[in-house]
């Protein structure tokens, strides 16, 4: 059985950071100690992690891998390569593929392709409704048996409250959770940016915060009424954070995520008319950014995801109103989060690891999320002192669409280890 010794790094645990060695045998961590001698680690390959930090493998519970059907944007191979380069050992892919991932056959295909590629662990998310049409529930139990870890109609909100109620109840019966894209399409009314001063200045149709918050409130009410769990995708507004904070204080079983662009950007960026700034929900204003940070600090927002949405250049290199929504974010998420949140004094390293690893594992009942003896050897090693400039031309994702091109960040991923095997080494 293969052995790997991580020597001399500063490991990030839930209760603090400390220098230690980590010995891996096969797919498991078999020992964590201050110093593991050569005799004990005989035959092990060695990674010198001195001066670096060792994290549990990052878990992204909201990505778009595009396969099957949209491989010109991304496929499971390119998406997996981008994921391990970004420090992710597990990614959960949304069902808006072609055909839609709304049945066991498509779920099984994605699982099999992920294993065939063999980089990170691919966890499919099944659709809530057939064809993501919002009318009939998909075959939730069969998708669970095939490997689905959650259900969502992400990108196409479930507008019918009765259907969402049934989805929450059925998902609970199968040990799954609904991930809700909160958007009232009638209120959004074809908007492309945040509704406010900058949308007026740019002459671009705005999406009001209420379009997100009304649907978010509905999901809270349903979860509270039913006594079921629900999860809110990509929270972007101050009001949404407050609704979640109040719901959690009442004991509602609600969890939520946000993305790096919602705590690092304001809608000032849209006046450049660069379609790489177009994302749904849209980037909001400074008060929303501060509220998102506060929500991450106090745990109102449980986790950080990427909503990795790669597109072909031709879909972004068009007039703003016609451009596709989305940011290719899986290769920049850790560095942006570390720079803005840890160096920015919002979170500790332990809290960052919780938001990017432990919380997604807990919400979706996945293995991993922590460094512990006997636990799975899913690990990310980063040099937090290394500063670099984001260059989209160097992305291994097919999607180069990012508003962060040229931004200086800290925290370079050096190694990603999945099931005890090195899958990325810079």
pLDDT for 38 equals: 79
On whether both 136 and 225 belong to a single domain, the answer is yes
Within a domain: 338? yes
CATH of the domain at 326: 3.20.20.140
Q: Is 307 a catalytic residue?
A: yes
On whether both 393 and 275 belong to a single domain, the answer is no
On whether both 314 and 415 belong to a single domain, the answer is no
On whether both 137 and 27 belong to a single domain, the answer is no
pLDDT for 167 equals: 98
> Looking at the DSSP assignment, which residues form a beta bridge with residue 376?
28
Backbone φ and ψ of 115, nearest 5°: -70, -35
Within a domain: 21? yes
On whether both 385 and 247 belong to a single domain, the answer is no
Within a domain: 369? no
On whether both 148 and 170 belong to a single domain, the answer is yes
What does DSSP say about strands 178-180 and 121-124: parallel, antiparallel, or unpaired?
Answer: unpaired
Q: Which residue, among 218, 360, 211, 346, has the nearest Cα to 289 in the 3D structure? A: 346
CA-to-CA distance for 317 and 314, rounded, in angstroms?
Answer: 5
pLDDT for 94 equals: 98
On whether both 152 and 249 belong to a single domain, the answer is yes
Within a domain: 370? no
DSSP state letter for 354? I
On whether both 116 and 255 belong to a single domain, the answer is yes
User: Can you give the pLDDT of all 426 residues of the chain as single tens digits?
Assistant: 789 999 999 999 999 999 999 999 999 999 999 999 878 889 999 999 999 999 999 999 999 999 999 999 999 999 999 999 999 999 999 999 999 999 999 999 999 999 999 999 999 999 999 999 999 999 999 999 999 999 999 989 999 999 999 999 999 999 999 999 999 999 999 999 999 999 999 999 999 999 999 999 999 999 999 999 999 999 999 999 999 999 999 999 999 999 999 999 999 999 999 999 999 999 999 999 999 999 999 999 999 999 999 999 999 999 999 999 999 999 999 999 999 999 999 999 999 999 999 999 999 999 999 999 999 999 999 999 999 999 999 999 999 999 999 999 999 999 999 999 999 999
Domain membership of residue 173 as a residue range: 57-364
Number of folded domains that form the chain: 2
pLDDT for 321 equals: 97
CATH of the domain at 415: 2.30.40.10
From 364, 399, 414, give the residue that closes a domain. 364
Backbone φ and ψ of 41, nearest 5°: -100, 25
Active site residue: 21, 102, 288, 307, which one? 307
Within a domain: 342? yes
pLDDT for 39 equals: 83
Within a domain: 400? yes
Within a domain: 97? yes
From 336, 364, 392, give the residue that closes a domain. 364
The angle subtended at Cα 349 by Cα 408 and Cα 31, nearest 5°, is: 120
On whether both 226 and 336 belong to a single domain, the answer is yes
On whether both 290 and 380 belong to a single domain, the answer is no
CA-to-CA distance for 54 and 23, rounded, in angstroms?
Answer: 13
What does DSSP say about strands 408-418 and 379-389: parallel, antiparallel, or unpaired?
Answer: antiparallel
On whether both 138 and 86 belong to a single domain, the answer is yes
On whether both 15 and 95 belong to a single domain, the answer is no
Sheet with 303-304, edge to edge strand ranges: 151-152, 178-180, 230-232, 254-258, 303-304
């Amino acid at each position: 059985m293969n052995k790997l010794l991580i020597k001399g790094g500063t490991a990030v645990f839930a209760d603090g950071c400390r220098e230690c060695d980590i010995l891996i045998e096969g797919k498991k961590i078999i020992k964590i100690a201050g110093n593991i001698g050569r005799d004990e680690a005989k035959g092990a390959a060695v990674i010198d992690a001195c001066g670096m930090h060792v994290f549990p493998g990052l878990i992204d519970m909201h990505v778009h891998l595009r396969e099957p059907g949209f491989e010109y944007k991304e496929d499971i191979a390119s998406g997996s390569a981008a994921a391990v380069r970004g420090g992710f050992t597990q990614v959960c892919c949304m069902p808006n593929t072609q055909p839609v991932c709304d049945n066991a056959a498509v779920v099984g295909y994605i699982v099999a392709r992920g294993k065939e590629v063999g980089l990170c662990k691919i966890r499919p998310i099944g659709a809530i409704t057939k064809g993501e049409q919002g009318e009939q529930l998909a075959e939730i139990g069969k998708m669970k048996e095939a490997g689905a870890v959650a259900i969502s109609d992400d990108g196409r909100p479930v507008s019918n409250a009765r259907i969402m109620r049934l989805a929450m109840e059925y998902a609970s019966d199968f040990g799954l959770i609904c991930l809700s894209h909160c958007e009232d399409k009638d209120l959004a009314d074809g908007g492309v940016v945040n509704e406010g001063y900058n949308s007026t200045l740019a002459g671009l149709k705005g999406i009001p915060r209420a379009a997100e918050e009304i649907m978010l409130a509905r999901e809270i009410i349903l979860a509270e009424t039913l006594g079921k769990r629900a999860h809110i995708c990509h929270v972007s507004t101050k009001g949404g954070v407050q609704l979640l904070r109040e719901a959690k204080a009442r004991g509602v079983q609600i969890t939520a995520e946000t993305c790096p662009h919602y705590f690092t950007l304001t809608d000032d960026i849209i006046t450049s008319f660069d379609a790489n700034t177009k994302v749904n929900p849209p980037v909001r204003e400074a008060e929303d950014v501060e509220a998102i940070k506060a929500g991450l600090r106090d745990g109102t927002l449980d986790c950080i995801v990427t909503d990795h949405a790669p597109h072909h250049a031709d879909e972004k290199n068009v007039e703003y109103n016609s451009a596709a929504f989305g940011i290719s974010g899986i290769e920049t998420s850790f560095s942006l989060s570390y720079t803005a949140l840890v160096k920015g004094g919002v979170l500790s390293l332990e809290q960052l690891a919780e938001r990017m690893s432990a919380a997604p594992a807990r919400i979706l009942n996945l293995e991993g999320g922590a460094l512990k003896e006997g636990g799975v050897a899913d690990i990310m090693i980063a040099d937090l002192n290394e500063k670099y400039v984001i260059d989209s031309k160097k992305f291994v994702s097919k999607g180069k669409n990012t508003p962060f091109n040229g931004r200086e960040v800290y925290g370079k991923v050096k190694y990603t280890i999945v099931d005890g095997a090195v899958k990325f080494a810079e």
